[in-house]
């Protein structure tokens, strides 16, 4: 069994705990997503701003809804 398989099994075995943690820390996750997106925009000179914003929105739409 490879490393990826072990990681996948760990996620599957702890799925409910992971969902609860993500749902209960929605605000912190959303803030981190904003900071990461802002940093990427800064490093790339806003060249990929539209794609970064779309990715941020997709992640934020998922947090709290697992």
pLDDT at 58: 94
Cα gap 49→29, rounded to integer Å: 20
Q: Under a CB-based contact definition with an 8 Å cutoff, are residues 40 and 50 in contact?
A: no
Residue 16's domain comprises 3-62
**Distance, C-alpha 9 to centroid of its chain:** 20
Query: What is the pTM (predicted TM-score) of this model?
Result: 0.71
Note the pLDDT tens digit of each residue in 6-51: 999 998 999 989 888 888 899 999 999 999 999 999 999 999 999 9
pLDDT at 11: 87
Range scoring the smallest mean pLDDT among 32-36, 38-42, 55-59, 62-66: 62-66
- How many separate domains does the chain show? 1
């Amino acid at each position: 069994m490879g490393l990826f398989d072990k990681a996948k099994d760990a996620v599957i075995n702890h799925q409910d705990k992971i969902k609860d943690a993500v749902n209960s820390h929605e605000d912190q996750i959303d803030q981190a997503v904003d900071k990461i997106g802002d940093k990427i925009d800064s490093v790339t000179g806003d060249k990929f701003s539209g794609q970064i914003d779309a990715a941020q929105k997709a992640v934020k739409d998922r947090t709290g809804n697992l």
